[in-house]
Structure 1
């Protein structure tokens, strides 16, 4: 079942997540719910804290529609610079240019606890960095000017109020 996506600047999105130590059925359930939430929102990646879970878990979408399930990821290498227009499921309908590394090498565990390494470039590298930033308590708006960030924050606070009224 899809979970609601948390809207920035909610505290769960601005705090670093906790490492996963339990690779049991709870993790599998969380990954399934995250995938449903991501697909429902038409996203290309999602982090656990975006569905309210402060755990170091994310999904990173590949171009073929499949996903990397990354647990406890670490960026090992970074190189080059590239700017892409970036958005976020937790900051809906807001798009801004963000500079990131063109290539990254990431080490992560899968849902069984096995370690893997992947080298990514281009859009895939960008999505890895975006999702790992979430796990570190950062959202893409952190890279924007104070003015742009403030304007987007006001829009998101209004959206939060609207969503809360709909639930009540």
Structure 2
């Protein structure tokens, strides 16, 4: 069952996540539920804290439409500057040019605990940085100019209130 996606500026999104230490059935269930939420929302990545779980795991989408999980990721190397249009499932319908690094080297574990390293550039590097940012307690809007961030924050606070009212009324 897909989990609900948390809307920024919820505290779980601005708090660094905890490392995954248990690679058992609970992790598999969480990853499956995250993937369902990701597909339902038609996203290209999702972090555990976006579904309210403060663990260091995420799904990352490739440009070919396939996905893979990253657990306890670390960015080992960064190079080159690039700015690409970015959005976020936790900041629905808001997009902005966002500065990132063009190329990254990332070390991460899979759901069995095995370690992997990958070099990525362009869009995939952007997605890695976005998702790892989530796991570090940072949402992409924090990289934007203060005025733009403030305007988006007001919209998201209104959305949170609207969604809260819908849940209470049973919609």
TM-score interval, normalised by the smaller of the two chains: over 0.9
* Pair 1:150 & 2:150 matched: yes
Unaligned runs of 5+ in 1: none
**Aligned position for 1:60:** 60
Matched residue, 2:126: 126
Q: Cα distance, 1:101 vs. partner?
A: 0.4
Distance 1:122 1:68 in 2: 17
Secondary structure at 1:101 match in 2: strand
Other-structure match for 1:162: 162
Deviations 1:77-113 (A, max 9, x none): 0011111010000000000000100000000000000
Q: Give TM-score scaled by structure 1 length.
A: 0.99
Shift of 1:7: 0.1
User: Does residue 19 of the first structure (1) align with residue 19 of the second (2)?
Assistant: yes
SS in 2 for 1:141: helix
Rounded Cα–Cα distance in structure 2 between residues aligned with 1:43 and 1:15? 22
CA distance in 1, matches of 2:54, 2:151: 26
2:89 corresponds in structure 1 to 89
For 1:114, the equivalent position in structure 2 comes to 114
Unaligned stretches of 5+ residues in structure 2: none
Query: Post-superposition shift, 1:160?
Result: 0.3
Residue 64 of structure 1: how far off its partner (Å): 2.2
Deviation at 1:67, TM superposition (A): 1.1
Count of residues in Structure 1 that have an aligned counterpart in Structure 2:
168
Task: Give 4+ residue runs of structure 1 displaced > 2 Å after superposition.
Answer: none
Aligned-partner SS, 1:80? strand
Alignment-derived partner of residue 6 in structure 2: 6
- State the SS of the aligned residue for 2:42: coil
